[in-house]
Amino acid sequence: MSLKQAATAVRENAHAPYSNFKVGAAIRAGSGTIYSGCNVENVAYPEGTCAEAGAIAAMVAAGETELDEVYVIADAPMPVSPCGGCRQKLAEFGADHVPVIMGTVDGQEQVMTLGELLPGAFNTDHIQGR
Ligand code: THU
């Protein structure tokens, strides 16, 4: 299964009754295995989680901590880019050169690297010596 297929399939399981905006995310990890996640909203709105966070949690739960490629898909008029918090979460496990493919269900795609999405990221250099 391709990364796009995995993101498209998991998007169907999104729990998004409040926004009606289903998102699917798939990550190719260092081993080549694909992990996927969808957004999971909550009636207490801030408790909802993004698709990317779900995919990252699945990857880490399986014992992997390196991500090599990301695909995010939604039914939107233009490719959906990860929110600020998810950019930071992705940068925890992915290098600057990692491609993030942003897709729409009608077939649009835009590719940016993690470094382009989160320039000047807060990283381990900033907490040296602790
Ligand atoms: N959302 C994601 O899951 N990923 C993104 O990259 C953008 C936004 C979700 C959060 C919320 O459940 C819904 O989309 C509307 O913001």
9-59 per-position pLDDT tens digit: 999 999 999 999 999 999 999 999 999 999 999 999 999 999 999 999 999
Nearest-atom index, ligand 1, CA of 41? 12
Q: Is residue 40 part of a domain?
A: yes
Mutate to test the pocket of ligand 1, among 41, 71, 83, 89 (most ligand atoms within 8 A of CB): 83
* Exposed / middle / buried, residue 69 (Cβ in 10 Å: 0-12, 13-18, 19+): middle
Measured from the CB, is residue 99 less than 6 Å from ligand 1? Answer: no
The DSSP symbol for 59 reads H
Q: Which amino acid is at 4?
A: K
CATH number of the domain where residue 52 is located: 3.40.140.10
Give pTM, 2 decimals. 0.96
Distance in angstroms (rounded) separating the CA atoms of residues 4 and 2: 5
Residues 61-99: pLDDT tens digits? 999 999 999 999 999 999 999 999 999 999 999 999 999
* Domain of 111, in residue numbers: 3-121
Tokens of 100: 């993030």
CA of 128 to the centre of ligand 1 (A): 33
Q: Please give the tally of structural domains in the chain.
A: 1
Q: Is residue 127 part of a domain?
A: no
- Buried residues in 29-66 as b, exposed as e (16+ CB within 10 A): beeeebbbbbbbbeeeeeebbbbbbbbbebbeeeebee
